[in-house]
Every structure is written in C-alpha cells, then in structure tokens.
Amino acid sequence: MRAVIQRVSYGSVKVEGKIISEINHGMVVLLGIDIDDNEEDISWLANKIIKLRIFGDEKKLMNNSLINVKGDLMIISQFTLFAKTKKGSRPSYTNAAKPPKANNYYNFFCDEIESLLCKKVKRGIFGADMVLNIENDGPVTIYIDSKSKD
C-alpha cells in the first residue's frame, strides 16, 4: 500500500459537482492498493498514519498525532500512486490492484482507521471521477509505502 498524507487546514472531494466529503483541520490521505497487498499492510499502514506526529505542539514543533489533535481524516482511493513511468510517456498501472480487490481493501482500510480512531473518516467514492480541494497546511506532505517499512 502506498499513501500520500497531507496535513490540511481544509479538504473536500466533489463528485459530479457536489461536495460529498469535507474536513477541516486534519489529514487527507491518498491511498493506493498494490496487487500484492494483504491485511498486514492494512493494519501496519493504518497504525502508522494515525500515530504520525506531524501536528504542531505549543512550541510549533511537530510532536502531535492526529489522535492528539482530534483531527479529521479523509481517505481517497488513488490507483495512480502505482504508476510506472520507465518506458515511454504513458504511465502503466500494472502493479495497482484490480477494482474488486482495491475496493475491498480501501473499505477495509477505512474501517480499520475508524476502529482505531473511534470516529468516522470521510471518504471519496471508489472508482468515481473526483475533484479534490486540498489546503495543505505547512506544507506537510509525507509518502509511506508498506513494502518499505525501514
């Protein structure tokens, strides 16, 4: 699994011109599912994200997690995180999980985060053409791959 995590002051997602999810202070996570991902990847990445200390403390040092600041979270499925660009100009997505698996794992990941946070997360619509509005706070953007745990 791959995740691009952005600390945000605001985030929203539109489908067909209508806002379907919206958050304030928190994180927007763009999540890609690999063909070889498993439940261990889901658990590891979910725990990593909610404990990631990227929010400022009273000294404005990044010492607080999403849990500490009681922040919001929006998770968007993003198969293009597995783009291969080595050959030619058109990206290949052969390592991205096919829709049935990707959709199941996306929902399982969101459910896992909700269980850990004890609150609902905002979601996009899997497979939909979405328009994201992200106000990156910092800017802070972190990339994590569950296959590179070191």
Q: Which CATH number goes with the domain that contains 18?
A: 3.50.80.10
Statement: the pTM of the whole predicted model exceeds 0.85: yes
Calculate what percentage of the chain has a pLDDT beyond 90: 97
User: Looking at the 3D structure of the chain, how many domains does it have?
Assistant: 1
CA distance 14 to 126: 12
Asked whether the beta carbons of 6 and 141 are under 8 A apart, the reply is yes
Per-residue pLDDT at 149 exceeds 90: no
* Catalytic one of 80, 85, 94, 141: 80
Domain assignment of residue 106, yes or no: yes
Q: Rg of the chain over CA atoms, in angstroms? A: 15
Domain assignment of residue 132, yes or no: yes
What mean pLDDT do residues 31-36 have? 97
Domain assignment of residue 150, yes or no: no
Assess whether 80 carries a catalytic annotation: yes
pLDDT band at 82; cut points 50, 70, 90:
very high
Q: Residue 72 pairs with which residues in a beta bridge?
A: 26
Domain assignment of residue 37, yes or no: yes
Tell me which residue range forms the domain holding 122: 2-145
Per-residue pLDDT at 109 exceeds 80: yes
Exposure on the CB side of residue 73, measured as CA atoms within 13 A: 29
Residue 84's pLDDT is 92
pLDDT band at 138; cut points 50, 70, 90:
very high
